[in-house]
Amino acid sequence: MRRAIGNKLLARKRAPSGRILSDQWCAIIASLLYLCRQEAIGKACRAWKYSCAQKCLQCLKRLQSTEEPAVPGKTAGERKPLAESCGASVLRATNEFGMGRMKSEILNENPEQVTSTKERLVKCIKEVLPSTTKTCIWLLKITIGVSVLILFMRYFKILPWLSATLGPLFNHFGLPGEAALAYVSGYFVNMYAMLAIAGSMDLTARAITILGVMSLCSHNMITETAVQGKTGANPVRVVITRTLAGFVLAFVLNLILPLSQSDIAMLGGAFEKSEAAVASITEAPAAVQPLFKELAVEWCYSTLSILVKMTLLIYSLAILQRILSEFGVIRWVSKFLKPLLLLFGLPARCSFLWIIANILGIAYGGAVMMEEVRAGKLSLRDIKLVNQHIGISHSNLEDLTLVASIGGIWWVMLLSRWAGSFILVWGYRAEMAIRKKLLTLQTKTTL
């Protein structure tokens, strides 16, 4: 029976109209026939690239009058039509591509019962609201807690003290000691704090590029580490990896980027300035101590604006992700990004997370990441690989543009972090392979 049906389909593989068969039709037909284990028909479908859509539908309807293959213990009367027995496969394929109308034709459903686009959109929003609300509340709590901590660190001058202490270390990265204040502010707060300080300094394009790479690798560390930890990453490993990656990339860039006369002049006497900065902070009179009331008012305005922006983005991204998944857009995006993600060592199914992290960052895209993990769409291994990559390479639209606006070389900042993430991901893959090998050897030894 299989061979007979396969021969019929092969005989019709080229339609007179010569219309090109779309990949969506091919996927639905292949899914339907593969589940039935009809090797001959499946082969015909793969060779059926230049058939017209009408011929495809006619062949599928013809399958409905064909009984499924004989199964031991199942009489001829108990067998269902071939297409009906493959209903689950058709549903999965059509839902993946958002082809509800085609599904109704294949399964002989009433076209009036097909869900409209508006109803599907409303359904997506209703499904995503409960889980997104929980995630949003958790992120807002983390953001408020971190902002309160930063408020007290500013009031008690902990941030300036850390900056002055790290000043001599920054000379090895080709940066003046006072650049440490911008880095520490970005490390604990966000890129806006770093940009506000760095923009007021007389830094060269080379220095801004190096400082920008360090800050882009390790900014907003507390909040983003909490988000990555919630998705399954090791928080301690995240902090160590992102911090060291920023230092290593800055050190390498300091070696390969050419020095200009202005760079040499800027670095002159940097060590003495750093020591003077430490002394000025430790011996500062109480008169220059900022009023807590002024800091609190500033904190209220800045935190409120961040919370409103974060809430809007979290809900928008979660709904967008669900809609794109419902209508099959994510699958097509994954198809086009697959070569690039394979180069980075990432699975293609992580494409949407990769896009969100590169455009908006970890903090704003955290809700989508958590939803993907909660829904089981990504494995723990996939999430760990993605976290290795986006840990030092995210916010490549807004933050990268902002650093470039004050003089940074954008392509150096982008490519250097991509190179670092490439090494981190493939290094982590090698680590997992070695661990698996050692575990296998240990098991064999025990047995």
pTM score, whole prediction: 0.66
Q: Which pLDDT band, with edges at 50, 70 and 90, does 387 fall under? A: very high
Identify whether the C-beta of residue 177 lies closer than 8 Å to the C-beta of residue 271.
yes
Q: Which of 82-91, 135-144, 169-178, 276-285 has the highest mean pLDDT?
A: 169-178
Can you give the pLDDT at residue 28?
55
Mean pLDDT score, 423-440: 93
Identify whether the C-beta of residue 398 lies closer than 8 Å to the C-beta of residue 309.
no
pLDDT higher than 70, residue 102:
no
Look over the chain and give the mean of its residue pLDDT values, rounded to a whole number. 74
From residue 391, alpha-carbon distances to 5, 7, 239, 445 in Å are: 53, 54, 9, 37
Mean pLDDT score, 160-177: 85
Mean pLDDT score, 341-370: 84
Separation of alpha carbons 423 and 10, rounded Å: 48
Q: Which pLDDT band, with edges at 50, 70 and 90, does 120 fall under? A: confident
pLDDT higher than 50, residue 2:
no
CA nearest 235: which of 243, 227, 244? 227
Q: Which residues contact 408 (CB under 8 A, 6 or more apart)?
A: 205, 208, 209, 212
pLDDT higher than 70, residue 310:
yes
Q: Which pLDDT band, with edges at 50, 70 and 90, does 389 fall under? A: very high
pLDDT higher than 80, residue 3:
no
Comparing 127 with 428, which gets the higher pLDDT? Answer: 428
Q: Which pLDDT band, with edges at 50, 70 and 90, does 325 fall under? A: confident
Q: Which pLDDT band, with edges at 50, 70 and 90, does 290 fall under? A: low
Q: Domain extents for the chain?
A: 2-114, 135-434
For the record, the structure tokens of 300 come out as 């209220």
Geometric angle at alpha carbon 380, from 375 and 383, rounded to 5°: 85
Mean pLDDT score, 309-318: 82
Give the model confidence (pLDDT) of 54-85 as tens digits.
455 555 555 544 544 444 454 555 444 444 44
Q: Which pLDDT band, with edges at 50, 70 and 90, does 106 fall under? A: very low
pLDDT higher than 90, residue 332:
no
Identify whether the C-beta of residue 245 lies closer than 8 Å to the C-beta of residue 427.
no
For the record, the structure tokens of 228 come out as 């990555």
Which residues are bridge partners to 67 per DSSP? 81
Can you give the pLDDT at residue 99?
43
Query: Which stretch of 22-36, 357-371, 402-416 has the lowest confidence by average pLDDT?
Result: 22-36
Mean pLDDT score, 205-234: 92
From residue 403, alpha-carbon distances to 92, 301, 390 in Å are: 45, 24, 18
